[in-house]
Amino acid sequence: MPEIREIPSSETYAVRHPVLRPGRPVETCRFDGDDLSSTTHFGLYETGELAAVASLFQSKHPAFPDHRQFQLRGMAVLEDYQGQKFGQILIEAIEDKARRAAAEVVWFNAREVATGFYEKMGYKLTGKPFQIGEIGTHYVMFKRM
Ligand SMILES: CC(C)(COP(=O)(O)OP(=O)(O)OC[C@H]1O[C@@H](n2cnc3c(N)ncnc32)[C@H](O)[C@@H]1OP(=O)(O)O)[C@@H](O)C(=O)NCCC(=O)NCCS
């Protein structure tokens, strides 16, 4: 069974880099707010190896009226480990943490290619598609906790 641990931001880069920023400088894996005390990073370990990461930031989006909002960022499963439910297990851990932190809504900017995954996890699309730099088309998605 995979094991989930809270990890420092620096340990997420080994997965963020090849999956989310391939071919780009490793500094592009650092996100504003990574080291705030209100941010939590999760690592999923399979037989002792880091296979997937995701991070939860306390952050508000103007589309939602709620006071307690959390943003999912840096969701990434190493290619060799994709399709083994590790993404789903990480989302469940993130939601558990968010609920314990009294979150009313979890939202994020989803890559177009990943929206089907998040819909399976019960997230809904809102608003119009938009571009993020070189990464491409994104949609805001959310779930009420
Ligand atoms: C998208 C990602 C996080 C999904 O994680 P994963 O571990 O591969 O997915 P899981 O095995 O947990 O999939 C759970 C379900 O979602 C489905 N699914 C997975 N990826 C999907 C996708 N891109 N589109 C539609 N459905 C998808 C699976 O088929 C599975 O469905 P099932 O329950 O009916 O069998 C992962 O593949 C990834 O890191 N991709 C590249 C980076 C990326 O796009 N990150 C998201 C940035 S917003």
Q: pLDDT by residue (tens digit) across 2-59? A: 999 999 999 999 999 999 999 999 999 999 999 999 999 999 999 999 999 999 999 9
- Structure token pair of residue 114: 């990943």
Q: How far apart are the first and last CA of the chain?
A: 26
1, pLDDT greater than 90: no
115 lines ligand 1 (CB under 6 A): no
Within-domain flag for 24: yes
Within-domain flag for 29: yes
CA 108 – ligand 1 centroid, Å: 15
Within-domain flag for 46: yes
Index of the ligand 1 atom closest to the CA of residue 84: 11
**Confidence at residue 124, expressed as pLDDT on a 0 to 100 scale:** 98
**Which residue segment(s) compose the domain that 57 sits in?**
3-105
* CA nearest neighbour of 124 among 104, 138, 144: 144
CA 60 – ligand 1 centroid, Å: 25
Coil, helix or strand at residue 53: strand
Within-domain flag for 83: yes
Is pTM beyond 0.95 here? Answer: yes
Within-domain flag for 110: no
**pLDDT tens, 72-108?**
999 999 999 999 999 999 999 999 999 999 999 999 9
Judge contact between 19 and 78, C-beta under 8 A: yes
**Confidence at residue 134, expressed as pLDDT on a 0 to 100 scale:** 83
Mutate to test the pocket of ligand 1, among 95, 117, 125 (most ligand atoms within 8 A of CB): 117
Within-domain flag for 65: yes
Domains: count for the chain:
1
138 lines ligand 1 (CB under 6 A): no
59 lines ligand 1 (CB under 6 A): no
